């Protein structure tokens, strides 16, 4: 990636503001366990600033979903401590807690209709050690998606139709200079995948002891585009922020428009509207 300012939007501006403010409230003292109280993800908007750093993203999505006609009682979020956690049956494990799910006729409602999973969304964030932690985030996301679709194929969600919409939303702290900074790759045994050759055709034909490959942001783009192409995820969002822009109205950047907040929300709502026509 060469120098550019990124695609500007404000779809998740309030969520990013909350993300930064939560980090301040849960700062160094919280890391040491001194006096920081963590509220459950099910807390309301008034308690957001003392809650999970990603609660703002949950709130923005809920606002869009309910505006599109989704019954608020069909939207679930929160971890194991809330009364109705956003848990779904898994395949390789007993269950998985998602950040937001949309489910019609949940069993807890005791209605005369089978439950129908409409959507599930995973949130991920990263602030420090981008290089060290990126592969871990990707591996975790691949595993969660694989488990989700195995559970779906096993009819753990009862219905094979409609096919649920699976989304992945990532926000990371990237300094301006990090976004386009090349990262070294070593591939001594086989030629490099062309997507990671960074425009170097020779790297796809020979052993590479060291190559200036795509930036970490570009690697995320490749990862998410391939996950969508393979139908592991139906929609993905990749946004970045840093302290320099944290207080701006446009407090985050989308360096890949196809992975913007607006595109993510649009894809989700297009799917949702088919099941909430009114």
Please check whether residues 80 and 143 belong to one and the same domain. yes
- pLDDT-above-70 percentage for the chain: 84
Please check whether residues 207 and 121 belong to one and the same domain. no
Residue 87: burial class (beta carbons within 10 Å; 0-12, 13-18, 19+): middle
Please check whether residues 124 and 208 belong to one and the same domain. no
pLDDT at 42 over 60: no
Mean pLDDT of all residues in the chain? 86
Nearest Cα residue to 151 out of 198, 87, 106: 87
Last residue of a domain, one of 214, 235, 261: 214
* Residue 103 counted as domain residue: yes
Please check whether residues 256 and 150 belong to one and the same domain. yes
What angle separates helix 55-67 from helix 261-272, to the nearest 10 degrees? 40
Average pLDDT over residues 121-143: 88
Please check whether residues 44 and 161 belong to one and the same domain. yes
Please check whether residues 71 and 209 belong to one and the same domain. no
pLDDT at 36 over 90: no
Please check whether residues 65 and 131 belong to one and the same domain. yes
Please check whether residues 152 and 256 belong to one and the same domain. yes
* Residue 63 counted as domain residue: yes
Last residue of a domain, one of 214, 238, 259: 214
pLDDT at 128: 73
* Residue 6 counted as domain residue: no
* Residue 3 counted as domain residue: no
pLDDT at 28: 45
Please check whether residues 199 and 157 belong to one and the same domain. no
Per residue in 143-190, pLDDT (tens digit) is: 999 999 999 999 999 989 889 999 999 999 988 777 888 888 887 788
* Residue 93 counted as domain residue: yes
Nearest Cα residue to 215 out of 253, 262, 176, 168: 176
Per-residue pLDDT band for 5 (boundaries 50, 70, 90) equals low
- Burial code (b: 16+ CB inside 10 Å, e: under 16) for 223-261 equals bbbebbeeebbbbbbbbbbbeebbeeeebbbbbbeebbb
Average pLDDT over residues 231-252: 96
Please check whether residues 154 and 267 belong to one and the same domain. yes
pLDDT at 34 over 50: no
pLDDT at 219: 94
Q: Please report where in the chains the tokens 């840093």 appear, as a residue.
A: 242
Per residue in 63-108, pLDDT (tens digit) is: 999 999 999 999 999 887 788 899 999 999 999 999 999 999 999 9
- Burial code (b: 16+ CB inside 10 Å, e: under 16) for 95-110 equals ebbbbbbbbbbbeeee
Q: Print the domain residue range for 134.
A: 13-180+215-272
pLDDT at 207: 59
Please check whether residues 195 and 176 belong to one and the same domain. no
* Residue 52 counted as domain residue: yes
* Residue 94 counted as domain residue: yes
pLDDT at 52: 85
Domain count along the chain: 2
Tell me which of 130 and 71 has the higher pLDDT: 71
Query: Whole-angstrom Cα distance, residue 258 to residue 244?
Result: 24
pLDDT at 64: 98
Per-residue pLDDT band for 191 (boundaries 50, 70, 90) equals confident
* Residue 237 counted as domain residue: yes
Please check whether residues 248 and 157 belong to one and the same domain. yes
Per-residue pLDDT band for 129 (boundaries 50, 70, 90) equals low
Per residue in 205-218, pLDDT (tens digit) is: 565 667 788 999 99
């Amino acid at each position: 990636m060469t120098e550019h300012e990124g695609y500007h939007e404000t779809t998740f501006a309030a969520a990013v503001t909350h993300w930064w403010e939560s980090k301040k409230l849960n700062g160094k003292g919280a890391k040491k366990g001194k006096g920081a109280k963590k509220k459950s993800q099910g807390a309301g908007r008034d308690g957001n600033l003392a809650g999970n750093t990603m609660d703002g993203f949950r709130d923005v999505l809920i606002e869009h979903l309910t505006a599109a006609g989704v019954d608020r009682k069909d939207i679930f979020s929160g971890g194991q401590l809330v009364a109705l956690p956003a848990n779904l049956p898994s395949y390789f494990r007993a269950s998985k807690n998602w950040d937001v799910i949309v489910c019609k006729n949940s069993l807890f409602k005791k209605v005369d209709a089978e439950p129908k999973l409409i959507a599930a969304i995973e949130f991920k964030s990263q602030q420090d050690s981008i290089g060290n932690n990126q592969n871990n985030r990707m591996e975790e996301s691949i595993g969660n998606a694989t488990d989700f679709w195995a559970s779906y194929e096993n009819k753990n969600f009862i219905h094979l139709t409609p096919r649920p919409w699976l989304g992945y939303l990532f926000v990371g702290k990237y300094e301006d200079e990090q976004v386009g900074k090349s990262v070294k790759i070593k591939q001594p045994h086989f030629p490099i995948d062309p997507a990671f050759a960074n425009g170097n055709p020779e790297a796809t034909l020979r052993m590479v002891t060291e190559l200036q490959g795509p930036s970490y942001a570009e690697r995320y783009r490749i990862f998410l585009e391939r996950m969508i192409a393979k139908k592991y995820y139906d929609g993905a969002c990749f946004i970045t922020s840093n302290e320099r822009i944290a207080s701006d109205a446009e407090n985050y950047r989308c360096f890949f428009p196809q992975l913007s907040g607006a595109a993510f929300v649009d894809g989700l709502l297009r799917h949702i509207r088919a099941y909430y026509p009114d």
